[in-house]
Amino acid sequence: MQQQYPFKEVEQQAQQFWGAKQSFLAKPESTKPKYYCLSMFPYPSGKLHMGHVRNYTIGDVLSRYHHMKGFNVLQPMGWDAFGLPAENAAIQNKVPPAQWTYDNIAYMRKQLQSLGFAIDWSRELATCQPEYYKWNQWLFLRMLEKGIAYKKTQVVNWDPVDQTVLANEQVIDGRGWRTGALVEKREIPGYYLNITGHAQQLLDDLDKLPGWPERVKTMQANWIGKSVGVRFAFPHAIQNSDGQLIDDGKLWVFTTRADTIMGVTFCAVAAEHPLATHAAQNNPSLQAFIDKCKQGSVMEADMATMEKEGMDTGLTVTHPLTGEQVPVWVGNYVLMTYGEGAVMAVPAHDERDFGFAHKYKLPIKQVISVIDQTFDNSAWQEWYGDKSKGVCIYSGKYNDLNYAQAVDAVAADLAEKDLGGKQTNWRLRDWGISRQRYWGCPIPIIHCESCGSVPVPDDQLPVRLPEDCVPDGSGNPLNKREDFLHCACPSCGKPAKRETDTMDTFVDSSWYYARYASGFSDSAMVDAQTNHWMPVDQYIGGIEHAILHLLYSRFWSKVMRDLGLVNYDEPFANLLTQGMVLNHIFSRRTEKGGIEYF
Ligand code: ANZ
Ligand code: ZN
């Protein structure tokens, strides 16, 4: 027996043996029970780090164990190869993102192979390959046909330095995460996927996942955020300069506490709300306040902790049940993108409204009472906002009703006046997939002056991304690529222009597991083999993907299922979220204020 482990010899011999025997080739025709073991695929950032080694070792141990137990194992590997870091590297080193990416893949593949993992390398894929992303485009077109994908303009976070839209997560303290520039809000057109249409299913089907950590399921449920309440209107006679009623004379709000409707002492609208815009026309200080609000973060976490600020618009609306006039304020804590972008404010029973009313000396009117508790306007107490205890008081005909009874009664009365009714709201927003980025999957749309936005016909897929652009940081280089831009309109044949936005890279990772499990056909997104291997028996990855990646994958699977491409409801039967390997990382603030890592 040798004193030391001569890893060079032993491992090389073992790896040669496995290679010669094709030991890790998955065999779909085998009659053994299948075991699909999947680790989240890496971004080809340059070199493997210890986190990769640890993550992939977990999957490897599980794969080998099941192999030995007589399972037919599939353990594939690939590359999440589109994305921003390649563009940033390109800006720095002046090499095309494609070259940087393919070089990194080659290097990291060698590293992974030298680790001797039991991977079926015959199924390797990279999401930047046209053979792969062709099917992103193809499914997008199917979604477009079904109305699941649609175009709309929306307010987005705009980084004026990078000339790009940022995700909420990329806005830190109101600044772009990379550039440190003050983020602006802008309206631009983009494509959205109607994930909210699947919200109920995405919530319900969490119950079909006993093999997922409770914590992750809770995070998903909170993110989906089902909220049952009442949507109703405060009528008004506010007209715009053309003499037309704004929003048909109705200020709509969404509330989960319709039982407190008799305690309304003001309404608060978002800075982007039409009533705010209207009121600001002859009120420069209100306009200045609105501009300031628009600069702030749209992250909900920030919304919850930030100082509540507001300003009176001078406008009033009519309480739908009492007929009283209610003042309208602009409040920085009201989100334009949730509910109706406006709230009925009940300072006595909502903590945010309470703070706001105190700050601006607005009336506070108790309408819920709890036995043995005394209401005191000067300080907030937990029970004020607790809907599980208490009954209505000072509320006329609703007195003595509990929460559920009062909500029903109020909703019925509002419905009778044709001013509203019960409604379910979702915190989840539709998934905006357009990115003003080069290194991603082109959105297969052609813009024609006569025909508008025309889908690229299937037989012209994939729309290939030119691989030799070198971004210089000033917007999307595709806008300057004449050979990419110009094409014929598929519908009328006249000269037209290609869409230059590319897809969010979360699209790429939303279905790679199904492609691994399929034969790599160029005439089908997936084949019948997929249903043999899927769902993934063990998915392994970082907790940082507990929400977005997993939710998008679940959604994408359901769309594929509805189109008859696959037969499973959920892609990942068991989920293991490994910990993170932490190490001190050196960084510095750049001149522009962003963070640069070494
Ligand atoms: C009056 C009220 C009284 C409320 C009360 C709560 C307690 P969830 O559960 O998250 O759906 N709200 C509605 N739209 C909003 C918006 N665009 N921006 C900020 N806040 C908004 O919360 C619904 C509650 O959040 C609604 O119920 C509304 O405040 C507020 F004692 O209405 B409530
Ligand atoms: Zn045309």
DSSP-assigned states of every residue in 236-250: ---B-TTSPBGGGGE
Handedness of CA 341, 346, 351, 352 (dihedral sign): positive
The answer to whether 467 and 515 are in contact (CB under 8 A) is no
Give me ligand 2 centre to Cα 245, in Å: 38
Query: What pLDDT is stored for residue 325 in this prediction?
Result: 98
Look at the block and give the residue holding tokens 């119950």.
Answer: 207
Query: What pLDDT is stored for residue 531 in this prediction?
Result: 96
User: How many Å apart are CA 443 and CA 436, to the nearest integer?
Assistant: 11
**Relative to the alpha carbon of 497, which ligand is closest?**
2
User: Which of 231, 232, 253, 256 for a ligand 1 pocket mutation test, highest count of atoms within 8 Å of Cβ?
Assistant: 256
Query: What pLDDT is stored for residue 185 in this prediction?
Result: 82
30-44 pLDDT tens trace:
899 999 999 999 999
Ligand 1 atom at shortest distance from the alpha carbon of 256? 27
Is ligand 1 within 6 A of the CB of residue 423?
no
User: How many Å apart are CA 525 and CA 540, to the nearest integer?
Assistant: 24
User: How many Å apart are CA 155 and CA 228, to the nearest integer?
Assistant: 25
Query: What pLDDT is stored for residue 569 in this prediction?
Result: 97
Query: What pLDDT is stored for residue 297 in this prediction?
Result: 55
Look at the block and give the residue holding tokens 């950590």.
Answer: 213
381-398 pLDDT tens trace:
999 999 999 999 999 999
The answer to whether 81 and 46 are in contact (CB under 8 A) is no
Least confident of 60-69, 172-181, 428-437, 534-543: 172-181
Query: What pLDDT is stored for residue 259 in this prediction?
Result: 97
* CA-to-CA dists, residue 178 to 112, 188, 212, 574, angstroms: 30, 21, 33, 35
Protein residue closest via CA to atom 7 of ligand 1: 350
Specify which residues 597 forms β-bridges with: 587
**Relative to the alpha carbon of 488, which ligand is closest?**
2
**Burial bucket for residue 95 (CB in 10 Å: 0-12, 13-18, 19+):** middle
* CA-to-CA dists, residue 327 to 81, 281, 317, 349, 362, angstroms: 53, 18, 7, 18, 10
User: How many Å apart are CA 287 and CA 559, to the nearest integer?
Assistant: 44
Q: Is 192 helix (H, G, I), strand (E, B) or coil?
A: strand
Average pLDDT over residues 439-464: 97
User: How many Å apart are CA 234 and CA 267, to the nearest integer?
Assistant: 9
User: How many Å apart are CA 115 and CA 122, to the nearest integer?
Assistant: 17
Ligand 1 atom at shortest distance from the alpha carbon of 342? 17
**Burial bucket for residue 209 (CB in 10 Å: 0-12, 13-18, 19+):** buried
User: How many Å apart are CA 186 and CA 166, to the nearest integer?
Assistant: 11
Q: What percent of the chain clears pLDDT 90, i.e. is strictly above it?
A: 79
Ligand 1 atom at shortest distance from the alpha carbon of 384? 31
**Of 166 and 491, more confident:** 491
Query: What pLDDT is stored for residue 171 in this prediction?
Result: 78
- The C-alpha torsion from 15 through 17 and 19 to 25, rounded to 10°, is -110
Residue 475: pLDDT over 60 = yes
Tell me if the bond preceding 6 is cis, omega within 30° of 0. no
pTM of the model: 0.86
Amino acid at 14: A
Q: How far apart are the first and last CA of the chain?
A: 44
Specify which residues 540 forms β-bridges with: 39, 576
User: How many Å apart are CA 223 and CA 561, to the nearest integer?
Assistant: 23
Give me ligand 1 centre to Cα 256, in Å: 6
What DSSP state is assigned to residue 434? E
Q: Is 484 helix (H, G, I), strand (E, B) or coil?
A: helix
Residue 304: pLDDT over 70 = no
Average pLDDT over residues 224-232: 96
Strands (E), 201-353: 226-235, 250-255, 266-269, 310-318, 325-331, 342-345
Tell me if the bond preceding 42 is cis, omega within 30° of 0. no
**Burial bucket for residue 404 (CB in 10 Å: 0-12, 13-18, 19+):** exposed
User: Which of 272, 330, 350, 427 for a ligand 1 pocket mutation test, highest count of atoms within 8 Å of Cβ?
Assistant: 350
Tokens standing for residue 502: 């590319």
499-519 pLDDT tens trace:
999 999 999 999 999 999 999
**Relative to the alpha carbon of 490, which ligand is closest?**
2
Q: Show the CA angle centred on residue 41, arms to residues 35 and 44, nearest 5°.
A: 155
Residue 476: pLDDT over 60 = yes
Give me ligand 2 centre to Cα 485, in Å: 15
Residue 299: pLDDT over 60 = no
Query: What pLDDT is stored for residue 289 in this prediction?
Result: 95
User: How many Å apart are CA 515 and CA 527, to the nearest integer?
Assistant: 9
Protein residue closest via CA to atom 27 of ligand 1: 255
User: Which of 223, 228, 254 for a ligand 1 pocket mutation test, highest count of atoms within 8 Å of Cβ?
Assistant: 254
Residue 537: pLDDT over 80 = yes
149-184 pLDDT tens trace:
999 987 788 888 877 777 665 677 888 877 889 888
Give me ligand 2 centre to Cα 493, in Å: 6
**Relative to the alpha carbon of 487, which ligand is closest?**
2
Residue 298: pLDDT over 60 = no
Query: What pLDDT is stored for residue 319 in this prediction?
Result: 98
Average pLDDT over residues 551-574: 98
Residue 440: pLDDT over 90 = yes
Confidence of residue 581 (pLDDT cuts 50, 70, 90): low
Is ligand 1 within 6 A of the CB of residue 398?
no
Query: What pLDDT is stored for residue 598 in this prediction?
Result: 73
Is ligand 1 within 6 A of the CB of residue 558?
no
Q: At what angle do helices 548-562 and 214-224 cross, to 10 degrees?
A: 70
179-211 pLDDT tens trace:
889 888 888 899 999 999 999 999 999 999 999
User: What is the overall mean pLDDT for the chain?
Assistant: 93
User: How many Å apart are CA 559 and CA 147, to the nearest integer?
Assistant: 12
User: How many Å apart are CA 403 and CA 369, to the nearest integer?
Assistant: 11
Residue 306: pLDDT over 90 = no
Pairing of strands 325-331, 310-318: antiparallel
